[in-house]
A and B are shown apart, each in its own frame.
Chain A
Amino acid sequence: MSAPRVTEDARWVRWTLTGTTLAFLALFVLLPTAAVFHEALSQGWRVFALALVDPDALSAVKLTLLTAAIAVPLNTAFGLAAAWCVTRFRFPGRNVLVTLIDLPFGVSPVISGMMIVLLFGTKGLLGPWLAAHGLRVVFAVPGIVIATVFVTFPFVAREIIPFLEAQGTEEEEAAHVLGASGWQLFLRVTLPNAKWPILYGVILCNARAMGEFGAVSVVSGHVRGVTNTIPLHVEILHGEYQFAAAFAVASLLVLLAGVTLVVKRAAEWKTHAALSATRAAMREQR
């Protein structure tokens, strides 16, 4: 141990603050998470397993996977286009555009779901047209997908924009001068450089898409086995006092959160390394 530095806090301060932090995180965050598994297994492994292989649970899993499989690629493609547009060019209204991209974060999930109902519901703006063509959006699968797309809209764009901004355009300009076409330089230079931040955004987007509750709850109509996602299925079971089953299905989502955090860590670390490498290369050039 080196001599205490003047910028170090007294030992009692360190111990008190660290103790408070650990106690707070353990009691406030870890305990509820652990409670999910405790409750899920409170009636034994059999009840736990039965809750997971129940046909309604399986159909909820399928719908959740389908929703994420549509929403995540759409928002990833958008995130890439938006990031390219706002980091590679300067134009009037650029700041407004960046702010608008974040807008869905400021909207309550319930209000997000309500917008879908106002647009596509039977009394909505497009309702009569949809009904005339025999299409159903609200209280059906398309509504759930659209609500999820809205709610997860900013996730990928938000992660890529700061990264591309910090990385600068030198490598791409070099590729351009050397004769690469737009797509070539995007596919061969930009994408490989940004793969970790992209993964980071995708994993956050996916976690939210699979876990979204409020917005989906408004548009789903809660038809068992048809328009229930995993979180909605959890709610129904909980409302029917089937607590062990509700927590068993919820534990799937906790595992998803765990995987999300692990991948997030790795992606964060790699992103940081990529940015430091860029900075070092830029310093060398000077």
Chain B
Amino acid sequence: MAMRRPSESVLPGFGLSMGITVAYLGLVVLIPLSTIFLRSSSLGWSGFWQVVTSPRALASYRLSFGASLLAAAANLVFGVLVAWVLVRYRFPLRSLADAVVDLPFALPTAVSGIALTAVYSRTGVLGGPLERLGLQVAFAPPGVLVALVFIGLPFVVRSVQPVLQELDREMEEAAAVLGATRWQTVRRVVVPEVVPAALTGFALAFARALGEYGSVVFISGNMPLRTEITPLLIMTKLEQFDYAGATALAAVMLVVSFVLLLALNRLQAWTRARAGMA
């Protein structure tokens, strides 16, 4: 589509739709978000620093960022696998499996939380056997990881799936005819095409995991310094009416996740450019 200035488009309604969009966006999103930075600046720099580097805050970042990265990485592996199988293979129950992928997205987080807790607690179907093997999942850090992998799964699958569907099989055939083994074909032809989409999915899963609250609070046990994620620490501060402290932590989370996503965006642009050149 050609670039057009609003005045060049023959269609009416620019002023009205633009007015509604900007006014509603400002009212619902931008003004409320800006209050966070307004409030956290009321602490002053030293007060701010003290809150955001307290041992409890540092422990919560470690868990939140660490578990979110691990979960997004796990989703990258399983997501690409699931997408590949759903697109390339034909097997019974395929459309059911395809629908099941969306369940974590459609289930309210509180429901995912209590359901995962029931399954992975000591008395649960999986929690019991795992605990006998010496791995406590619910009410321990692995529980946080399980919840975050669960909620992040659809993001990678749904990012990669359309790319695999559009992928030109003739390229693979050409590679095979030219004598590449199947493994070489996959590595040299398929993987470069899939990487940008997989990274998008990874970034989405990571961002979602970082902010996640509902599914984690039930399964984590919420022990300060051990299984307390940053959103929960923010919640605790809010319940104690420590608004300045809560906003300081929120500002840290917003800035760090923004920077990380920006970095991933650059990485994605870079891989795309490289794939285009190769």
Chain A positions within 8 Å of B, measured between CB atoms, are 5-7, 9-10, 14, 17-18, 20-22, 24-25, 27-33, 35-36, 39, 77-78, 81-82, 84-86, 88-91, 97, 100-101, 103-111, 114-119, 121, 123-125, 149-150, 153, 165, 168-169, 172-173, 176-177, 181-182, 185-186, 207, 210-214, 217-218, 230-232, 234-235, 238, 243, 246-247, 250, 253-254, 256-258, 260-261, 264-265
Q: 7 A-B residue contacts at CB 8 Å?
A: A18-B89, A27-B126, A82-B25, A85-B14, A111-B231, A121-B243, A217-B235
How many A-B residue pairs lie within 8 Å, measured between CB atoms?
277
B250 within 8 A of A: yes
Q: Which of A6, A31, A89 contacts B4, CB < 8 Å?
A: A89
Contacts of B108 in A (CB 8 A): 207, 210-213, 230-231, 253, 256-257
Shortest CB distance A262–B (Å): 8
Question: When the two chains form their complex, are residues A235 and B97 in contact, meaning their CB atoms are under 8 A apart?
Answer: no
Question: When the two chains form their complex, are residues B246 and A114 in contact, meaning their CB atoms are under 8 A apart?
Answer: yes
Q: How far is the CA of A103 from the CA of B84 in the complex (A)?
A: 30
Question: When the two chains form their complex, are residues A100 and B29 in contact, meaning their CB atoms are under 8 A apart?
Answer: yes
Contacts of B50 in A (CB 8 A): none
Chain B positions within 8 Å of A, measured between CB atoms, are 1, 3-6, 9-14, 16-18, 20-22, 24-25, 28-33, 35-36, 39, 78, 81-82, 84-86, 88-89, 91, 93, 97, 99-104, 106-112, 114-116, 118-119, 124-126, 149-150, 153, 169, 172-173, 176-177, 182, 185, 207, 210-214, 218, 231-232, 234-235, 238, 241, 243, 246-247, 250, 253-254, 257-258, 261
Question: When the two chains form their complex, are residues A14 and B89 in contact, meaning their CB atoms are under 8 A apart?
Answer: yes
Q: Which of B91, B126, B153, B250 contacts A29, CB < 8 Å?
A: B153
Q: Which of A18, A28, A30, A32 contacts B91, CB < 8 Å?
A: A18
Q: How far is the CA of A52 from the CA of B144 in the complex (A)?
A: 30
Q: A114-B238, A115-B32 are in contact. Are A234 and B111 (CB under 8 A)?
A: yes
Chain B interface secondary structure, helix, strand, loop or mixed? helix
Contacts of B100 in A (CB 8 A): 25, 29-30
Question: When the two chains form their complex, are residues A111 and B250 in contact, meaning their CB atoms are under 8 A apart?
Answer: yes
Question: When the two chains form their complex, are residues B36 and A115 in contact, meaning their CB atoms are under 8 A apart?
Answer: yes
Q: How far is the CA of A35 from the CA of B112 in the complex (A)?
A: 10
Contacts of B16 in A (CB 8 A): 81
Q: A108-B213, A117-B238 are in contact. Are A214 and B115 (CB under 8 A)?
A: no
Question: When the two chains form their complex, are residues A247 and B11 in contact, meaning their CB atoms are under 8 A apart?
Answer: no
Question: When the two chains form their complex, are residues A81 and B3 in contact, meaning their CB atoms are under 8 A apart?
Answer: no
Contacts of B176 in A (CB 8 A): 6-7
